[in-house]
């Protein structure tokens, strides 16, 4: 079992959950910690000779020091790049919370110092008509690391997501500010406001990155704040 386990959540889709997960894994490796990341549900997969594969899941595998099979990292691979429950329905499949939890528990039997489980979309992304992906960190007892995409409107999104996490009885271990809008002014003021408003440590600020060099991501994150 892992010594440290976290769920990577986002305030929305495309805010950089995978980028942050990569950075945390790289930072862990630089400290001599064994680590791996999981992406249990991925929509937007491409057909390969090995089957459907998702680029975010492959990025997590590349950044992990403990090597798992693709099926362990991403057991639910969906083709259409839309909401997972809709993508699954297009393939005549149904997402069920207990199966997602079971897949994760099976993969997490592999020992490591740090394990990250990356979510899909925002906090309340549906699995089906009754469940959302928020049940996963709750059932797995995983503290949350929240990725905030710094853009216009992100303060509202971030505070509402934090409220939902706390209301669900889940620990917010920390958060990361990811500058996804290169044209946004007053980034510093926005981050300072969130730093004061969110009662969890700011793990790091990732600048806008046009071309990602995974090995350099760790320098933007203070992983010691969550270990």
Enzyme catalytic residues: 39
Handedness of CA 227, 201, 139, 69 (dihedral sign): negative
**Helix ranges (DSSP H) in the chain:** 17-30, 55-63, 70-73, 84-90, 97-107, 135-140, 154-167, 187-197, 214-217
Distances, alpha carbon 139 to alpha carbons 153, 166, 167, 200, in Å: 30, 15, 15, 21
DSSP state, residue 225? G
């Amino acid at each position: 079992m892992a010594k440290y386990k976290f769920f990577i959540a986002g305030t929305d889709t495309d805010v950089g959950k995978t980028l942050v997960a990569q950075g945390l894994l790289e930072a862990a490796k630089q400290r001599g910690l064994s680590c791996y990341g999981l992406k249990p549900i991925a929509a937007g997969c491409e057909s390969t000779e090995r089957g459907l594969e998702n680029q975010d899941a492959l990025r997590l595998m590349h950044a992990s020091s403990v090597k798992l099979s693709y099926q362990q990292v991403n057991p639910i691979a969906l083709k259409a790049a839309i909401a997972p429950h809709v993508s699954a329905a297009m393939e005549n499949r149904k997402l069920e919370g207990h199966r997602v939890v079971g897949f994760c528990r099976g993969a997490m039997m592999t020992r490591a110092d740090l394990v990250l489980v990356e979510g899909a979309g925002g906090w309340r992304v549906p699995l089906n008509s009754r469940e959302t992906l928020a049940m996963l960190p709750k059932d797995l007892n995983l503290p949350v690391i929240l990725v905030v995409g710094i853009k216009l409107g992100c303060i509202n999104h971030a505070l509402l997501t934090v409220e939902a996490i706390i209301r669900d009885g889940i620990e917010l271990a920390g958060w990361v500010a990811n500058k996804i809008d290169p044209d946004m002014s007053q980034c510093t003021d926005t981050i300072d406001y969130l730093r004061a408003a969110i009662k969890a440590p700011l793990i790091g600020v990732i600048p806008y990155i046009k071309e990602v060099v995974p090995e350099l991501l760790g320098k933007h994150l203070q992983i010691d704040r969550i270990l």
